[in-house]
C-alpha cells in the first residue's frame, strides 16, 4: 500500500529512541498518522513541526497498519507561528478539534479552511474570528451545523441577534425579546455580510460562547472530553488584544 499527498502537520509524539508518530491533516486522506524513522534528529525536527505544510508518502504492507511516512517540507510556517502567542493557542485549539475527526476520513472542506487559517494565524487581530468560524465549520462538517441564515420564528434574514441553544437556529432581535435569558448571543461578525469587520472583545466572547456551547454538547461531552486548555488561553488573549486595538478605541468615540 502506498500513496502520496500533501497536508499540514497537527501533531507528533516520540516513538522509540529516534522515531516519531506524525499526525497530518491531508488533502485526500484526512487526518492520518504515520511513523517517521529518525524524526527526532536535529535535521528532521525543524521540518516536523505543527503548522508546517508538507508532502508525505505513506507506505504500509496492509492498509490497516500504521505505516511509515516519507516527508518533504513544502512551506515552513512553524517559526512564524511560534513567534505569536495567539497563533500558537489558535493552532492548538484547531488541532484538538481536528483530532475528533475519524482517522483517514477525508474532509476536503476542513482541509482548505485549515490551510487558510494557517496562512493568517499570526494576524492576531483577526485570528480569533477565524477560529470561531472554523469551529462553526467543524460543527457543520460533523452534522451539527447551526442555521444562521434566517430567523427561526419569522423566517426573515434581517436583524439576527440570537441563537437557540437547543435548535441552533438564529432568532431576530424582535422575536428574541421575550426569551433573552434563554438564548445565546449571535455576534455581528458571524452574520452573513459582516465577516470583514474586526470584532470587538464582547463580540469575540459571544462568538466563542456560542460555538463552545455546541462543541461541548455535540463533540466533547459525548466523548467524555473537556475543551482543550489552549482554547481558554486563546479566548483570554484574544479579548485582551481586541479591547486594546485601535478599532476598539474608535468604537467608543
Taking only the tens place, the pLDDT of each residue in 168-216 is 999 999 999 999 999 999 999 998 655 567 899 999 999 999 999 999 9
Asked whether residue 166 is assigned to any structural domain, the reply reads no
Over residues 223-237, the mean pLDDT reads 95
Mean pLDDT of the chain: 93
Torsion, Cα of 36, 34, 84, 248 (10° steps): 170
Distance CA 171, CA 92 (A): 32
Kindly tell me if the per-residue pLDDT of 252 is higher than 50: no
From 27, 43, 76, give the residue that closes a domain.
Answer: 76
Using the structure block, give the residue that is written with the C-alpha cell 488573549. 237
In this structure, are residues 245 and 197 in contact, taking their beta carbons and an 8 Å threshold? Answer: no
Domain match, 144 and 23 both: no
Rg of the chain taking only CA atoms, in angstroms: 20
Kindly tell me if the per-residue pLDDT of 77 is higher than 90: yes
Kindly tell me if the per-residue pLDDT of 253 is higher than 50: no
Phi-psi label, residue 193: left if phi above 0, alpha if psi -120 to 50, beta otherwise: left
Domain match, 119 and 33 both: no
What total number of domains does the chain contain? 2
From 41, 76, 111, give the residue that closes a domain.
Answer: 76
Domain match, 91 and 214 both: yes
Kindly tell me if the per-residue pLDDT of 240 is higher than 50: yes
For residue 4, give the DSSP letter.
E
| pTM, full prediction | 0.91
Using the structure block, give the residue that is written with the C-alpha cell 492520518. 32
Domain match, 127 and 214 both: yes
Distance CA 132, CA 189 (A): 10
Kindly tell me if the per-residue pLDDT of 245 is higher than 80: no
Confidence of residue 247 (pLDDT cuts 50, 70, 90): low
Spacing of C-alpha 206 from chain mean position: 17
Kindly tell me if the per-residue pLDDT of 249 is higher than 90: no
Domain limits for position 101: 84-148+186-251
Domain match, 50 and 106 both: no
Domain match, 195 and 114 both: yes
Q: What is the pLDDT of residue 193?
A: 59
- SS3 (DSSP) at 57: strand
Asked whether residue 167 is assigned to any structural domain, the reply reads no
From 43, 76, 109, give the residue that closes a domain.
Answer: 76
What CATH number does the domain containing 36 carry? 2.40.50.140
Amino acid at each position: 500500500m502506498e500513496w502520496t499527498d500533501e497536508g499540514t502537520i497537527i501533531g507528533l509524539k516520540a516513538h522509540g529512541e529516534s522515531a516519531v508518530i506524525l499526525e497530518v491533516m491531508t488533502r485526500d486522506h484526512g487526518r492520518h498518522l504515520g511513523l517517521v524513522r529518525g524524526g527526532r534528529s536535529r535535521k528532521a525536527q525543524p521540518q516536523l513541526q505543527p503548522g508546517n505544510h508538507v508532502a508525505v508518502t505513506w507506505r504500509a504492507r496492509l492498509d490497516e497498519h500504521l505505516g511509515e511516512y516519507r516527508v518533504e517540507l513544502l512551506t515552513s510556517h512553524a517559526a512564524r507561528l511560534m513567534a505569536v502567542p495567539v497563533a500558537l493557542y489558535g493552532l492548538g485549539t484547531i488541532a484538538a478539534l481536528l483530532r475528533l475527526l475519524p482517522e483517514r476520513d477525508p474532509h476536503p472542506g476542513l482541509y482548505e479552511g485549515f490551510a487558510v487559517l494557517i496562512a493568517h494565524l499570526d494576524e492576531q487581530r483577526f485570528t480569533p474570528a477565524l477560529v470561531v468560524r472554523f469551529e462553526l465549520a467543524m460543527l457543520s462538517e460533523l452534522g451539527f451545523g447551526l442555521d444562521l441564515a434566517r430567523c427561526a420564528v419569522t423566517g426573515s434574514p434581517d436583524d439576527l441577534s440570537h441563537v437557540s441553544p437547543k435548535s441552533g437556529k438564529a432568532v431576530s432581535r424582535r422575536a428574541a425579546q421575550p426569551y433573552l435569558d434563554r438564548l445565546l448571543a449571535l455576534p455581528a461578525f458571524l452574520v452573513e455580510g459582516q465577516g470583514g469587520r474586526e470584532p470587538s472583545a464582547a463580540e469575540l466572547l459571544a462568538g466563542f460562547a456560542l460555538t463552545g456551547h455546541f462543541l461541548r454538547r455535540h463533540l466533547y461531552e459525548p466523548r467524555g472530553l473537556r475543551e482543550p486548555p489552549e482554547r481558554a488561553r486563546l479566548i483570554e488573549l484574544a479579548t485582551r488584544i481586541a479591547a486594546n486595538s485601535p478599532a476598539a478605541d474608535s468604537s467608543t468615540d
